[in-house]
Amino acid sequence: MHLSAVSSLVLGLATLAAAQLPAAAIVKQIAPNAENCADTTECRTAEQAAPFIAQAMYDYGVYTTPEMAAIIALMAFESVDFKFKHNVSPGRPGQGTANMQMANFNLKYAQSIDSLKDQVSKFTTTDGLSPDDLNHILSLLQPDEFNFGSGPWFYSTQCDASLKQALWDNVDTGFQKYMACVGVSVTDDRLAYFTRAKAAFGLN
């Protein structure tokens, strides 16, 4: 089946079904260590993260469970179960959000947000920027509504549109293509998160 052939009615039903999914329970199953936070500066529990993740999926048109599973698995892995909003090791300036994006993507992301674009209008590239400037851009994206929107934003705007079909056709090979878009290898640790995500969404 090709997504282009799926009727708007089916997509509408998928949207309604997604809205009824128990978001907090699903996120907790994917990120089992996101139960509490000793330091709440950046750390968020699954219950705290779930509403923002669900809203971002809607905002960026991510309606199918294979897509959701892949995106949440990536964010949970990259942020160490939502404990960090910046790169801790090796501590790369400007890298962060739940998606742990590089600084150049964080600038693009900030430029795409109406409430932030004026604050980054003086930047056209991250090349040559000081660590302070890079971290300033990241700080604008660390509020929860932007932090947890980074994964859906990247998937929807930085990956090829064919990825949606790939995940729909075969979630496992689709995930491999998604990781290729992100620019990382499919390691056992990443697969562990994705395996939990598939189980949480009832995917085979």
Domain boundary assignment for the chain: 22-200
CA gap 157, 143 in Å, rounded: 20
Question: Which of 55, 53, 97 has the alpha carbon at shortest distance from 78?
Answer: 97
In the numeric block, which tokens belong to residue 160? 């090829």
Whether 10 shows a pLDDT value over 90: the answer reads no
Q: Provide, rounded to the nearest whole percent, the portion of the chain with pLDDT above 90.
A: 87
Question: What's the predicted TM-score (pTM) here?
Answer: 0.90
Residue 165 burial by Cβ neighbours in a 10 Å radius (0-12, 13-18, 19+): middle
Q: Which of 20-34, 59-73, 74-88 has the lowest mean pLDDT?
A: 20-34
The pLDDT, as a whole number, for residue 204 is 73
Q: Band of the pLDDT at 18, cuts 50, 70, 90?
A: low
Whether 13 shows a pLDDT value over 80: the answer reads no
Is domain 22-200 in CATH 1.10.530, yes or no?
Answer: yes
| Helix segments in 60-201, DSSP class H | 65-78, 103-111, 131-140, 144-147, 150-158, 162-169, 171-182, 188-200
Mean pLDDT for all residues in the chain: 92
User: What is the per-residue pLDDT across 97-146, written as a single tens digit (0 to 9) for each?
Assistant: 999 999 999 999 999 999 999 999 999 999 999 999 999 999 999 999 99
The pLDDT, as a whole number, for residue 11 is 47
Q: Band of the pLDDT at 7, cuts 50, 70, 90?
A: very low
Q: Band of the pLDDT at 16, cuts 50, 70, 90?
A: very low
The pLDDT, as a whole number, for residue 1 is 47
Whether 197 shows a pLDDT value over 90: the answer reads yes
The pLDDT, as a whole number, for residue 12 is 44
